[in-house]
């Protein structure tokens, strides 16, 4: 019994044949079960254990039948991110987070029955647990993170039993690692990153440590790579990006080398879905810096062409799920810049390099299936929504009026 696996990230995938003969699959490619089956015997290949990277779900195709004279070699296991069903936006102007349902066909956003939930003061970033069970909002002026339980049917948010936890000063960015075990917060006002463990049952956060950034000043964002091994931080005032390794047991961070130079006032880091490339939006010189990621150490090195031009005041960057396209929210241009990504990770402007959003976008999110993109407009209190062309990556506005947000929307997160 043989087949192929694609899209796998990390370890933990276990397949079974006929509810037995466990097979651990550690990488993409071919697999073969050890126990042979005689001609005429039935087989059923199933997933016993999903990968530890919770952002991917593995499914089996052509996994059952009867063994004929020729060996069975056509079983296909595909690991992919589930489609987004909900969107959440942190509204810095009225201290709320807005919730939306996402139409699976059109990509249009509709406000939830309870459209907003209270946060702390100046919420600027929102992150969702990989399986969609919990959500977290960084409150810049309250020096806290708000935690919410998510109704996985409706997407509705309710505060956790302990509704907030303390961070460092000026938490501007919160992210959850793809294994769902750790969360990280960039604290701009004291040059630290707060590391938390996540209780898998309740979603509660427990502080591991506040890590002082080595040679990094005013961290604006924190990003975990898709494999859950490395963290990258954009240091706004020192014009650098820092890299850290994650202790797989405790979640603690240790520096990888020294911070690397970026452009002026770097504000956001994005990593491609396979963890090969990193991109940094530099808000004051209208560029994106591009880096290769060492697959073993996580260290960054500038690409041959180290920067590409953007629109005015790039604040956020996102890479689609195929790793072929990248999008940058240009706040002062009221637009999104669009790029193709080649095999080396290099960015090239698309044929239509920029699409208007109708306001000043400070953040950007791409649906995990790569079909839709969303950009909250801070001055218009709306969300610009786009369909992504599967071949070219070009953006087309979704028909109908833009969804309204709360006041001064900043961060956005999509959830399954």
Report the phi/psi class of residue 378: left, alpha or beta, with left for phi > 0 and alpha for psi in -120 to 50. alpha
pLDDT confidence tier of residue 69, bands split at 50, 70 and 90: low
Question: Domain boundary residue among 80, 100, 135?
Answer: 80
341 pLDDT higher than 90: yes
Judge if 184 and 135 occupy the same domain: yes
Judge if 44 and 106 occupy the same domain: no
Residue 236 near residue 188 (C-beta atoms within 8 A): yes
DSSP 360: -
DSSP 152: T
CATH number for 314: 2.130.10.10
Judge if 191 and 75 occupy the same domain: no
Judge if 304 and 235 occupy the same domain: yes
Average pLDDT over residues 139-157: 97
Mean pLDDT, all residues of the chain: 96
Q: How far apart are the first and last CA of the chain?
A: 33
pLDDT at 201: 97
Average pLDDT over residues 56-79: 90
Question: Of all residues in the chain, what percent are helix, strand and coil, respectively (each to 5)?
Answer: 0, 55, 45
State the total domains in the chain.
2
- According to DSSP, the β-strands at 2-6 and 75-80 are parallel
Judge if 222 and 175 occupy the same domain: yes
Question: Domain boundary residue among 24, 56, 80?
Answer: 80
Q: What is the pLDDT of residues 186-208, one digit of tens each?
A: 999 999 999 999 999 999 999 99
pLDDT at 352: 96
β-sheet with 171-176: strand ranges across: 171-176, 182-187, 192-198, 205-212
Which positions ≥6 away from 343 have C-beta within 8 Å?
A: none
Judge if 59 and 117 occupy the same domain: no
CA–CA dist 290, 410 (Å, integer): 24
Residue 364 vs residues 84, 139, 326, 373: alpha-carbon distances, Å: 14, 19, 11, 7
Judge if 343 and 268 occupy the same domain: yes
Q: What is the pLDDT of residues 207-229, one digit of tens each?
A: 998 888 866 899 999 999 999 99
- Percentage of residues in the chain having pLDDT higher than 70: 99
Range of the domain at 335: 86-415
Judge if 340 and 298 occupy the same domain: yes
Q: What is the pLDDT of residues 10-61, one digit of tens each?
A: 999 999 999 999 999 999 999 999 888 888 899 999 999 999 999 999 999 9
HSE-CB of 220 using CA atoms within 13 angstroms: 25
70 pLDDT higher than 80: no
129 pLDDT higher than 90: yes
CA–CA dist 188, 167 (Å, integer): 11
68 pLDDT higher than 90: no
CA–CA dist 1, 6 (Å, integer): 17
DSSP 361: B
Cα 250 to the chain's mean position, in Å? Answer: 21
The answer, as to whether pTM is greater than 0.85, is yes
């Amino acid at each position: 019994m043989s087949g192929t696996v694609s899209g796998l990230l990390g370890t933990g995938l276990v397949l079974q044949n006929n509810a037995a003969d466990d097979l651990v699959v550690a990488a993409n490619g071919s697999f073969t079960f050890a126990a042979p089956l005689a001609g005429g015997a039935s087989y059923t290949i199933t997933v016993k254990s999903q990968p530890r990277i919770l952002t991917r779900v593995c499914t089996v195709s052509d996994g059952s039948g009867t063994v004929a004279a020729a060996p069975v070699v056509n079983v296909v296991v595909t690991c992919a991110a589930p489609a987004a069903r909900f969107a959440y936006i942190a509204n810095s102007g009225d201290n709320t987070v807005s919730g939306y349902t996402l139409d699976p066909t059109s990509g249009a956003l509709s406000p939830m029955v309870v459209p907003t939930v209270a946060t702390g003061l100046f919420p600027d970033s929102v992150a969702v647990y990989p399986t969609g069970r919990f959500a977290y909002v960084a409150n810049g002026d309250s020096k806290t993170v708000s935690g919410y339980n998510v109704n996985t049917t409706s997407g509705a948010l309710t505060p956790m039993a302990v509704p907030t936890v303390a961070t460092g000063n000026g938490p501007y960015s919160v992210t959850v690692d793809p294994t769902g075990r750790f969360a990280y917060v960039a604290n701009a006002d004291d040059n630290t990153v707060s590391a938390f463990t996540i209780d898998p049952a309740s979603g509660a956060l427990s502080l591991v440590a506040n890590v002082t950034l080595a040679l990094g000043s005013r961290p604006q964002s924190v990003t975990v790579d898709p494999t859950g091994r490395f963290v990258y931080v954009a240091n706004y005032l020192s014009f650098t990006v820092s890299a850290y390794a994650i202790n797989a047991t405790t979640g603690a961070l240790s520096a990888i080398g020294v911070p690397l130079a970026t452009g002026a006032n770097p504000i956001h880091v994005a990593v491609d879905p396979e963890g090969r490339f990193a991109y940094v939006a530099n808000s004051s010189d209208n560029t994106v810096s591009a880096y290769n990621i060492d697959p073993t150490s996580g260290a960054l090195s500038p690409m041959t062409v180290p920067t590409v031009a953007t629109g005015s005041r790039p604040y956020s960057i996102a890479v689609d799920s195929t790793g072929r396209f990248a999008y940058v929210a240009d706040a002062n241009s009221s637009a999104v810049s669009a790029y193709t990504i080649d095999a080396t990770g290099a960015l090239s402007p698309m044929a239509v390099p920029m699409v208007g959003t109708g306001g000043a976008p400070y953040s950007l999110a791409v649906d995990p299936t790569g079909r839709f993109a969303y950009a909250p407009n801070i001055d218009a209190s709306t969300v610009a929504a786009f369909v992504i062309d599967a071949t070219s990556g070009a953006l087309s506005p979704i028909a109908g009026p833009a969804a309204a947000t709360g006041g001064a929307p900043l961060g956005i997160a999509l959830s399954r």
